[in-house]
Amino acid sequence: MQLQEILYGVTILKLVGVTNRTVTALEFDSRKAGPGAVFFAIKGTMTDGHQYIPQTIAAGVDVIVCEDLPETFEDGLSYIQVENANVALGIMAANFYGNPSSKLKLVGITGTNGKTTIATLLFKLFTELGYAVGLISTVENQIKEQVVPATHTTPNPLALNLLLKQMVDAGCVYCFMEVSSHAVVQHRIEGLTFVGGVFSNITHDHLDFHKTFDNYIKAKKGFFDSLPKHAFALTNADDKNGQVMLQNTRATRKSYALKQMADFKAKIIENSFSGLNLEIDQLEVFFKLVGSFNAYNLLAVYGTAILLGEDKMNVLTVLSELSGAEGRFDYVANTQKIIGIVDYAHTPDAVQNVLSTISNIRKGTEQVITVIGCGGDRDTTKRPVMAQVACDWSDKVILTSDNPRTEDPNAILRDMEAGVSPTNRRKTLTIADRKEAIRTACHLAKPGDIILVAGKGHEKYQEINGVRYHFDDKEILTEQLNLIS
Ligand SMILES: CC(=O)N[C@H]1[C@@H](OP(=O)(O)OP(=O)(O)OC[C@H]2O[C@@H](n3ccc(=O)[nH]c3=O)[C@H](O)[C@@H]2O)O[C@H](CO)[C@@H](O)[C@@H]1O[C@H](C)C(=O)N[C@@H](C)C(=O)N[C@H](CCC(=O)O)C(=O)O
Ligand SMILES: Nc1ncnc2c1ncn2[C@@H]1O[C@H](COP(=O)(O)OP(=O)(O)OP(=O)(O)O)[C@@H](O)[C@H]1O
Ligand SMILES: N[C@H](CCC[C@H](N)C(=O)O)C(=O)O
Ligand SMILES: [Mg+2]
């Protein structure tokens, strides 16, 4: 492809060299760049891509996109100075792959909790309704029935546009994708055309990256600010910041809520371990998903489907048959009727939602035993709060490791313990080995008790010092529950 075609829509501050040259690849990692590639020098959180420019030139790269031009230029090469290399990467990645997002109907879902659930339900719903659909999510990406492993919630612009192109080539009509706050700030979604945006909620998370809650709100809002006029923007009116999200959007504003006036309304009639009975748009429907927070997710899915022109009855009929996403309120029971629940709750709000759901459903005498840890190299301020919430809502809590990544697991546990009040201390144990923690919870449980293993959901690994060891909460919980039955 010609460089000048790929540059369409990019604001160039300064150009050195020609643009009528052929480009065969785009790359932002010097270690992968070679002849025919354009190298993007990105200022990251760990290092500055500009320092690798000489290496990429030595490897045969002949086009450099950067924010700071080098002091000297090599003959025959092209240097393109832009204000923000991430923005240029997004736009050029979209151009390079033929702007696939404009060739299907792309809907983005953002918010602290619920993105995977909403995106996955939309994927399943539209597939059942007979469409060819794509999915981009934390658990996995999908091109119709083909599964493509996910590395991020929202992939980098190159991986993202390649996936979208593969979806278009496979005949997909819709794509439902999660839009993380990191993706908005790092412009991973720059250059994409959305037909709709959905907001789930915003609570405490990722303050290591965004620094303040205000910045975090702005990041999520940035997605709605960038939506085009013909798109819809569907928000949760019950969330304190639901309206803020849509303040400056050009898109058509729509809302859903359980408590406020909204375009799409629902009421919880019954919430049990077998599912949710909702009154939705004056119809009473039973859904297989458990927990009042899922009433919001279901309503968001319903609203989106209606805004995309689907028939109300068809949507509700299919939706009532669907199960949720893997590792979200996933439960197993043994012959002694001990219930084990695996859930991806990894924020204070999600932990509280899951535990309050359990507490609303249980009959009263059973104990709730929670096994919980916090990830390393992530927001440290959520650690004591998550431990506190777990203690406040459980009869026993076992603090354990999540993905320590490069941190000392015991240091993470000390941060969590700081949130445990003196009165809660007597119901808390600390067992760093996650398998041992789950095993202990199973041994402490009596018939009828409920064990919640929170934080890792669908993850099939535990990351310790850069190595991912096989680890599956549901597998271990099932094995341990069977051993004692
Ligand atoms: C904090 C963060 O989001 N980091 C992402 C970011 O990396 P970065 O900005 O830190 O990059 P860096 O390591 O400083 O390097 C800067 C530049 O130099 C380049 N480089 C670096 C070394 C070298 O030898 N040569 C070279 O060219 C790098 O390729 C990069 O272009 O850009 C990279 C490429 O796109 C991502 O892989 C990386 O994700 C890391 C692995 C990550 O863990 N991200 C998480 C926090 C994340 O994105 N999570 C969200 C939300 C999760 C959720 O709540 O669902 C997600 O969307 O997944
Ligand atoms: N609407 C909701 N409100 C509050 N909590 C929720 C909601 N939906 C799901 N949760 C809780 O949050 C956890 C994560 O849900 P889900 O994976 O759908 O969210 P996510 O936004 O995709 O998370 P991530 O940012 O990690 O990808 C669930 O396991 C559940 O405990
Ligand atoms: N996708 C989120 C969730 C992490 C879940 C938890 N298991 C952890 O490792 O912290 C993140 O990267 O922050
Ligand atoms: Mg997700």
What does DSSP say about strands 232-236 and 450-454: parallel, antiparallel, or unpaired?
unpaired
Atom of ligand 3 nearest to the CA of 376: 10
Q: Is 60 annotated as a binding residue?
A: no
What gap in Å lies between CA 374 and CA 386, rounded to an integer? 8
Q: What is the ipTM of this complex?
A: 0.95
Torsion of CA 216, 219, 223, 225, to 10 degrees: 110
| 183 pocket-lining for ligand 1 (C-beta < 6 Å) | yes
> Which pLDDT band holds residue 485 (cuts at 50, 70, 90)?
low
Task: Count Cα atoms within 13 angstroms, Cβ side, for 428.
Answer: 25
Among all bound ligands, the one having the nearest atom to the CA of 373 is 3
Each residue's pLDDT tens digit, 241-290: 999 999 999 999 999 999 999 999 999 999 888 899 999 988 999 999 99
Please work out, in degrees rounded to the nearest 5, the angle formed at the alpha carbon of residue 410 by the alpha carbons of 466 and 341.
Answer: 80
Q: Is 235 annotated as a binding residue?
A: no
Tell me how many helices (H) and strands (E) the chain has. 17, 24
- Between the CA of 299 and the centroid of ligand 1 the distance, in Å, is 33
pLDDT of 56 higher than 80: yes
Nearest alpha carbon, ligand 1 atom 51? 180
| 327 pocket-lining for ligand 3 (C-beta < 6 Å) | no
* 209 backbone dihedrals φ, ψ, rounded to 5°: -85, -45
Each residue's pLDDT tens digit, 441-476: 999 999 999 999 999 999 999 999 999 999 999 999
Q: Which two tokens stand for residue 454?
A: 């929170």
Atom of ligand 3 nearest to the CA of 455: 7
Range list of β-strands (E), 303-356: 330-333, 339-343
Q: What is the separation of C-alpha 217 from the centre of its chain, rounded to a whole number of angstroms?
A: 16
| 124 pocket-lining for ligand 3 (C-beta < 6 Å) | no
Q: What distances in angstroms separate CA 274 from CA 35, 317, 371, 410, one per listed residue?
A: 57, 17, 23, 38
pLDDT of 347 higher than 70: yes
Nearest of 327, 278, 131, 297 to residue 198 by alpha carbon: 297
| 350 pocket-lining for ligand 2 (C-beta < 6 Å) | yes
pLDDT of 392 higher than 80: yes
Give every strand in the sheet of 78-81, ordered side by side.
14-16, 78-81, 63-66, 37-40, 25-27
Q: Which residues crowd ion ligand 4, with CB under 5 Å?
A: 115-116, 138, 153, 178
Among all bound ligands, the one having the nearest atom to the CA of 153 is 1
- Between the CA of 73 and the centroid of ligand 4 the distance, in Å, is 43
pTM of the model: 0.93
| Other CB atoms within 10 A of residue 213 CB | 14
- Between the CA of 345 and the centroid of ligand 3 the distance, in Å, is 9
Among all bound ligands, the one having the nearest atom to the CA of 344 is 2
Task: Count Cα atoms within 13 angstroms, Cβ side, for 413.
Answer: 19
Q: Which two tokens stand for residue 301?
A: 């899915």
What sign does the dihedral 448-293-326-427 (CA atoms) show? negative
